[in-house]
Structure 1
Amino acid sequence: MATITRSLSSKVNANGEAEIMLRLSVSRELRLRLKSGIFVEATRFRDGKIIMPRADRKTLAKLQIINDNLISLESRLISLCVSTPQKSLSKEFFEDAILRHHHPELFEAALKKMSFFDVFNEFLDKHLDGAPLSGHYKVLARLLRRFELYRQKTTRTKFTLILNDFDSAEIERFKEFVVNEPKIYDKYPSIYKTASDVVETARKPRRPEKRGENSVIGILKRLRAFFNWCVRRGYLDRTPFATFTGIGSEKYGTPYYITIEERDLIADFDLSDKPALEVQRDIFVFQCLIGCRVSDLLEMTSGSIINGAIEYIPNKTKNERPGVVRVPLNTRARQLVEKYSAKGAEKLFPFISAQKYNEAIKKIFTLCEITRMVTVRNPKTGEEEKRPINEIASSHVARRTFIGNLYKKVKDPSLVGALSGHKEGSKAFARYREIDEDMKKELVSLLD
């Protein structure tokens, strides 16, 4: 977590005031000394705090404004540390943020010259900057562009998306577009032949598939994240989602995962004749042992291991509730790390793309003959159906395996949540564990 300490410059201006200096510590590698642009009389500053007079109300009011401004600036800088990829943080970045804080009018003038997609591309470049989830937002950008073209067709105007005009009614229209896009494609195919200048892609236009309810909700949540970023950046005073209540909540079927015995069967299966698949198997087993999401696994390096435990801030929630998840490594996990550390790679494991990783997991399950039937919820129809687990296995099974098996052992969501990154009382936690038959028998036995 970034921290800020205050000091006072030794230089005094013509008004007898000195500038408050900020020491911003983002990480071990990034520590900066910044000019706050906020001045105070030296006699009113001691041990990093502004000293308030008791009797002089005029001076008190002036100092209170200075103090509030200082707290607001520090809060903004800390927020940027959390919401911006660390490789994008620099002294120039924070100096620009301080300038924008003190002179929003200059910022607003520049914003008027920016289109909706100029802002969205800045969001992609500065906020996500190649992060594991950036691909989902590029899909959103192309979707918004198609929506804009659709609105032009249906209104017969030169309609353009405007950041400040995007209200709850526009969100509702966008949601309807997302739900009905397959039909819209049939009615307005020319929209999909128009080359998009928003996010370059080599993909040829094709008929969109029907989206399930959870998929639509995910798209709206990503759009909400974009508008929340706009508020933090000062582009908007308020997000249009503040008055929109139509996002809904995802629905999931009964969670399925593999047992510890199945996990060990996979871990010990001889794949020496398939070295590429063996690597992906090792990564999957390691993921089963630490319970992280694949987006977090992608970014782990040897530096992520501190005092025998893996430490990371989950990508999915770092903008809402950034907190460090620390998972001690057991013997098997340490052995897997050591197996690949000798190869000198920057990443913890030689990871391939998430899609190919999921394909490899399915092959591994099939080779290990883990093919039992499980009940799942069809994401498009919402109906439950039976599927062999090897056909639907993915990286997220590893996370569920970690959480589900731990919960069977300790039956305490707070303890398990501390290792999985779920906050106390999280509704999402229920998606990762189930009350299985053994636990039901154990509960009933209490009545004997």
Structure 2
Amino acid sequence: MATVKRTLSTKSTPTGIVEIHLRISVSRGCIIRLKSGLYIDRKRFNDGKFIMPRDPAEKKQLRDLEDKLEDMEKFLIRLCEDTPQEKLNKDFVLNQLELYLNPPVEETPVAPEVTFFDIFEDYITKKNISEWRIRHLRVLKRALMRYELYIRANGNKRYKIKLDEFTVDDVNDFEKFLRNEHKFYKKYPKIYEAVPADTHSQRKKPKPHPKGDNTIVGLFGLMRAFYRWCRDQELTTNDPFAKYNGTTTEVYGTPYYISLEERDQIADYDLSANPSLEAQRDIFIFQCLIGCRVSDLMAMTPESIINGAIEYMPQKTKGERPQVVRVPLNARAKALVEKYAGRDDLKGKLFPFISSQKYNVAIKKFFTICGVTRMVTVLNPTTGAEEKRPLNEIASSHLARRTFIGNLYKKVKDPNLVGSLSGHKEGSKAFARYRDIDEDMKKELVNLLD
């Protein structure tokens, strides 16, 4: 059993204050001497014991000193008895005593700052929205991140977008940034290295394109929805759009689409000399016959055909308004499915799909080869000005959806019936963008006045 003996240092101050030393005996071969760091008046110490004075204040002070010394001795005895003797030495005991007398202060961990972009990502994760909307939200997030870097690069080095502090002035400034971003690419290359404008390109990151009103309105619509959610979640009371006076309505030109004759001209053209282009032409014609978006088209498999009809759930509205769209297949559509059924290169898909970007390139190519080059009037998406463009230069996968909707509407003139086949909800404002009240329909209406 370890024992402790108290002694006094031989050195003392002129007033007789002297340090208490401790002699720890563990065994004959293990004796450790330590300085306690505690000091006492030499006349108040005799043979290891404290001599208490009569003065109450001085007596209390000496009692406190004795308590500290006894606690120290108890710790040292327990330490020496619990530690293997071969490990015991003066340095070890001193280190352990120091930890006992001055335990490390455990700092309360500081919670990391919840940033604007943390909340934005939380919104994407928790909100039940479609993959289409998630992709567009990430476009908005990257634009806001570039805007933040742009402000820092222009003098405000500590600038951070904050949920409560983003004002209508910031909204207007962000709009100016979006409209001029294509001009900043060369001046601030590091911004676009850190946050690319396009994350899909496998090659050098392309510079951002000029943005028109419709793009700005779309991005701000997503940002409004984000702030509404934040207010609903009581994360903020801020509404930076409350006093915003910018453009809030998307503007579209008269919808254009190909006629049934033009569709058949493309469908019947001999492209057998170019099998890969022929396959993309067939896919386009099939899309014209079922009217789906390209994202839904490329997700289709043979299992999507049920009892002679194609069935799918539109990805764009899947999170907010899930519905199954069922479109019966006509003879031409069934023939196209049969043409590619069982091919080894389908990889479980309905057709030999390629990327949507390459699909759009192929569409323009076979429009040119097939001679569908009619001039149409379109709105420039950036400037908003009217332009005359040949169909083969502007044709894309979405033209197939417009072709389906526009030609059906000419036949039945019932937007709700056509909408049930295209996936538009009843009374959809968006549906109006896909149809045109053409000259034949206008004549029929005027004839009602006869």
Instruction: Report Cα offsets for 1:179-233 as digits up to 9, x if no partner.
Output: 23245557x526536534999786656654321111212222344465577789x
1:442 Cα offset (Å): 2.2
Partner of 1:66: none
Equivalence map 1:73-152=2 (5 Å): 114-118=114-118, 120=120, 131=131, 136-152=136-152
Q: Compared with structure 1, are the counterparts of its residues 271 and 110 closer, same or farther at alpha carbon in structure 2 (3 Å cutoff)?
A: farther
Partner of 1:189: 188
Partner of 1:271: 271
Q: Any gaps of 5 or more consecutive residues in structure 1?
A: 1-108
Instruction: Kindly indicate whether the alpha-carbon contact (under 8 Å) linking 1:300 and 1:347 is maintained by their aligned counterparts in 2.
Output: yes
Q: RMSD of the TM alignment (CA)?
A: 3.5
Instruction: Report Cα offsets for 1:282-326 as digits up to 9, x if no partner.
Output: 110111011111122122222322222222222222333222222
Equivalent position SS for 1:386: strand
Partner of 2:424: 422
Partner of 1:435: 437
Which whole-Å CA distance do the structure 2 matches of 1:348 and 1:241 have between them? 46
Equivalent position SS for 2:145: helix
1:176 Cα offset (Å): 2.9
Partner of 2:399: 397
Are 2:364 and 1:387 equivalent residues in the alignment?
Answer: no
Which whole-Å CA distance do the structure 2 matches of 1:198 and 1:392 have between them? 23
Task: State the number of aligned residues.
Answer: 338
Which whole-Å CA distance do the structure 2 matches of 1:244 and 1:318 have between them? 32
- What is the aligned counterpart of 2:376 among 365, 369, 374? 374
Which whole-Å CA distance do the structure 2 matches of 1:446 and 1:317 have between them? 38
Instruction: Report Cα offsets for 1:9-54 as digits up to 9, x if no partner.
Output: xxxxxxxxxxxxxxxxxxxxxxxxxxxxxxxxxxxxxxxxxxxxxx
Which whole-Å CA distance do the structure 2 matches of 1:284 and 1:168 have between them? 44
Q: Which moved more, 1:160-169 or 1:147-156?
A: 160-169
Which whole-Å CA distance do the structure 1 matches of 2:110 and 2:349 have between them? 39
Instruction: Report Cα offsets for 1:411-433 as digits up to 9, x if no partner.
Output: 11111111112222222111111
Q: Which moved more, 1:254-263 or 1:189-198?
A: 189-198
Which whole-Å CA distance do the structure 2 matches of 1:222 and 1:276 have between them? 38
Instruction: Kindly indicate whether the alpha-carbon contact (under 8 Å) linking 2:283 and 2:351 is maintained by their aligned counterparts in 1.
Output: yes
Partner of 1:323: 323
Q: Which moved more, 1:344-353 or 1:380-389?
A: 344-353
1:388 Cα offset (Å): 0.8
Q: Compared with structure 1, are the counterparts of its residues 206 and 370 closer, same or farther at alpha carbon in structure 2 (3 Å cutoff)?
A: closer
Name the amino acid aligned to 1:306.
I
Partner of 1:408: 410
Equivalence map 1:257-336=2 (5 Å): 257-336=257-336
Q: Compared with structure 1, are the counterparts of its residues 317 and 168 closer, same or farther at alpha carbon in structure 2 (3 Å cutoff)?
A: farther
| Matched-pair identity in % | 57
Which whole-Å CA distance do the structure 2 matches of 1:213 and 1:184 have between them? 19
Equivalent position SS for 2:194: coil
Partner of 2:58: none
Instruction: Report Cα offsets for 1:331-390 as digits up to 9, x if no partner.
Output: 211222222231263222221111111111111111110111111111111111111111
Instruction: Kindly indicate whether the alpha-carbon contact (under 8 Å) linking 1:212 and 1:379 is maintained by their aligned counterparts in 2.
Output: yes
Which whole-Å CA distance do the structure 2 matches of 1:216 and 1:237 have between them? 24
Higher radius of gyration, 1 or 2: 2
Instruction: Report Cα offsets for 1:112-145 as digits up to 9, x if no partner.
Output: 6554444555667888999466654443333221
Which whole-Å CA distance do the structure 2 matches of 1:351 and 1:291 have between them? 17
Name the amino acid aligned to 1:320.
E
Instruction: Kindly indicate whether the alpha-carbon contact (under 8 Å) linking 1:403 and 1:420 is maintained by their aligned counterparts in 2.
Output: yes
Instruction: Report Cα offsets for 1:224-283 as digits up to 9, x if no partner.
Output: 465577789x69477957847656121111111111111112112111111111111111
Instruction: Give TM-score scaled by structure 2 length.
Output: 0.65
Instruction: Kindly indicate whether the alpha-carbon contact (under 8 Å) linking 1:287 and 1:398 is maintained by their aligned counterparts in 2.
Output: yes
Instruction: Kindly indicate whether the alpha-carbon contact (under 8 Å) linking 1:212 and 1:381 is maintained by their aligned counterparts in 2.
Output: yes
Name the amino acid aligned to 1:446.
L
Which whole-Å CA distance do the structure 1 matches of 2:315 and 2:239 have between them? 24
Q: Compared with structure 1, are the counterparts of its residues 371 and 206 closer, same or farther at alpha carbon in structure 2 (3 Å cutoff)?
A: closer
Instruction: Give TM-score scaled by structure 1 length.
Output: 0.65
Which whole-Å CA distance do the structure 1 matches of 2:228 and 2:328 have between them? 34
Name the amino acid aligned to 2:271.
L
Q: Compared with structure 1, are the counterparts of its residues 197 and 177 closer, same or farther at alpha carbon in structure 2 (3 Å cutoff)?
A: closer
Equivalent position SS for 1:314: coil
Partner of 1:219: 219
Equivalent position SS for 1:273: coil
Equivalence map 1:217-256=2 (5 Å): 217-224=217-224, 236=235, 240=239, 243=242, 246=246, 248-256=248-256
Name the amino acid aligned to 2:252.
Y
Equivalent position SS for 2:258: coil
1:171 Cα offset (Å): 3.7
Instruction: Kindly indicate whether the alpha-carbon contact (under 8 Å) linking 2:325 and 2:421 is maintained by their aligned counterparts in 1.
Output: yes
Instruction: Kindly indicate whether the alpha-carbon contact (under 8 Å) linking 1:138 and 1:199 is maintained by their aligned counterparts in 2.
Output: no
Name the amino acid aligned to 2:264.
D
Which whole-Å CA distance do the structure 1 matches of 2:110 and 2:434 have between them? 46
Partner of 2:357: 355
Instruction: Kindly indicate whether the alpha-carbon contact (under 8 Å) linking 2:325 and 2:420 is maintained by their aligned counterparts in 1.
Output: yes
1:173 Cα offset (Å): 3.5
Instruction: Kindly indicate whether the alpha-carbon contact (under 8 Å) linking 1:117 and 1:198 is maintained by their aligned counterparts in 2.
Output: no
Name the amino acid aligned to 2:342.
A
Instruction: Kindly indicate whether the alpha-carbon contact (under 8 Å) linking 2:291 and 2:402 is maintained by their aligned counterparts in 1.
Output: yes
Name the amino acid aligned to 2:430.
A
1:402 Cα offset (Å): 0.4
Equivalent position SS for 1:385: strand
Which whole-Å CA distance do the structure 2 matches of 1:334 and 1:244 have between them? 54
